[in-house]
Amino acid sequence: MNALVFPGQGSQYPGMGKDLYDSRSDIKEIMDYANDILGFDILNIMFNGTEEELKRTKVTQPAVFIHSIAVAKALQNSSIEMVAGHSLGEFSALVANGVLSFEDGLKLVYERALAMHEACEQTPSAMTAIIGLKDQLIEDVCKEISTEDHLVVPANYNSPGQLVISGHLSAVTQAGEILKEKGAKRIVPLPVAGAFHSPLMQGAQDRLAKAVEKVKFNKPCIPIYQNVTAEAVKEVDEIKHNLLIQLTAPVKWTQTIQNMIADGCKVFTEAGPGKTLQGLIKKIDPSVEATSIS
């Protein structure tokens, strides 16, 4: 079985999507349409902007989404039997399996980006990748030091030996120091604006919920394995619920890939900028085939 997987924030790069735009008239048309939907020239930022300009959440998220859908359209692979997306990439996956239209997907992604940006401005917060420790140890440290005003939680289960923590800046910093003492190989602060996939995103979740209720969700043509449950989902109400909860809950990427493999997937194709997911999948299970098309 074959799967398409879609990357999230952090995979962007200057010039992203320019080759596709120049080489395919059908892709040029849909990317130009993205400018009309958003009301500003995001393509100019994607093609000619700096890394700093692309790092802004309200630019990054729609840019990665647009590029991912362009790649998926270029692939036009009818043999795909399941999809998944890492964080933001879940919206790309929902367009790929027919649940959302491109227009509605992009509108939701932009609303999500604005909501998350707003939530990030409310309190000093951060995300840090912990490399080289067991998940349970990281979970225990987070639970031990976390309080309502000093919150730190597991946010991204990326692969065995790589777990991202998220929360108040002070708590994330403290947890990193403790985990370094406990033998972490590396503590890597992430270049993001705030505490994604933590309870600090509750305001963003509430704002996105209002936007989701205005959008039509179709029955998927193939299952999506969602971040919150790591399991195949085909019911529209469950998809919508999981999409919202994702903002405040951890991304179970390791578990997602393991479940997709258990359900028969042998070939993963990453559609979108970068090769992050390809690398993570190979760490999760070196026996499967994982490629990246950007």
Task: Give the count of beta carbons closer than 10 Å to the beta carbon of residue 274.
Answer: 19
> Which residue segment(s) compose the domain that 166 sits in?
125-194
**CATH code: domain of residue 213:** 3.40.366.10
pLDDT (average), residues 243-272: 97
- Looking at the structure, do residues 112 and 232 belong to the same domain, yes or no? yes
- Looking at the structure, do residues 222 and 111 belong to the same domain, yes or no? yes
Q: How far apart are CA 93 and CA 84, in angstroms?
A: 6
How confident is the model over 36-80, as pLDDT tens digits?
999 999 999 999 999 999 988 889 999 999 999 999 998 876 689
- Of 194, 216, 248, which marks where a domain is finished? 194
- Looking at the structure, do residues 151 and 247 belong to the same domain, yes or no? no
**CATH code: domain of residue 190:** 3.30.70.250
Query: Who's near 124: CB < 8 A, 6+ residues apart?
Result: 168, 169, 170
- Looking at the structure, do residues 112 and 150 belong to the same domain, yes or no? no
- Of 194, 216, 240, which marks where a domain is finished? 194
DSSP lists the bridge partners of residue 156 as 164, 251
Catalytically active residues are 87, 197
Contact 76, 25 (CB under 8 A): no
What is residue 191's predicted lDDT score, i.e. its pLDDT?
82
pLDDT (average), residues 122-146: 96
Query: Who's near 28: CB < 8 A, 6+ residues apart?
Result: 21, 22
- Looking at the structure, do residues 14 and 114 belong to the same domain, yes or no? yes
- Of 170, 194, 218, which marks where a domain is finished? 194
